């Protein structure tokens, strides 16, 4: 299992790119470190719906951040875009799923982890699932 880089080191790795505005970075870090599972979405995004339904189906109640309803949505979107790039994931920016404070990935990564059986252990480790 490829271990997800935690946010700070992932950001630090992005030496060529522009740093995210500090306030937005802090906001995202606060959100993902304070909640076992966080899903960044845009309302009306089909794959966001799919990933939420998958998590609900597993018994997880993720924290959902809708970027189009968030004042900092545009800047968070830019930050997530960079995270995907750092991980070389050619996936849509949303949904972006964080588990246990770490960036797991987008729809393809979450589905792949679900299929290969690593998603549930990850969710348990993060305290998002008890059984």
Ligand X SMILES: *[C@@H]1O[C@H](CO)[C@@H](O)[C@H](O)[C@H]1NC(C)=O
Provide the binding-site residues for ligand X, judged by CB under 6 A: 1-2, 109, 112-113, 116, 118
Q: Please, which residue, 14 or 118, has the CB nearer to ligand X? A: 118
Report the nearest approach of ligand X to the CB of residue 69 (Å). Answer: 29
Shortest separation between residue 72's beta carbon and ligand X, angstroms: 29
Q: CA nearest 79: which of 128, 32, 34? A: 32
Distance of CA 8 to the CA centre of its chain: 14
CB of 1 to ligand X, least distance (A): 4
| Residue in the shown chain whose Cβ atom is closest to ligand X | 112
């Amino acid at each position: 299992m490829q271990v997800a880089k935690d946010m700070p080191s992932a950001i630090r790795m992005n030496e060529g790119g522009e740093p995210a505005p500090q306030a937005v970075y802090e906001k995202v870090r606060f959100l993902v470190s304070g909640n076992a599972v966080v899903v960044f979405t845009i309302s009306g995004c089909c794959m966001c719906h799919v990933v939420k339904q998958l998590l609900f189906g597993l018994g997880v109640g993720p924290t959902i951040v809708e970027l189009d309803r968030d004042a900092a949505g545009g800047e968070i979107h830019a930050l997530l875009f960079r995270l995907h790039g750092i991980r070389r994931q050619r996936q849509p920016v949303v949904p972006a799923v964080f588990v246990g404070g770490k960036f797991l990935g987008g729809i393809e990564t979450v589905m792949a982890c679900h299929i290969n059986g690593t998603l549930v252990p990850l969710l348990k480790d993060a305290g998002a699932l008890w059984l």
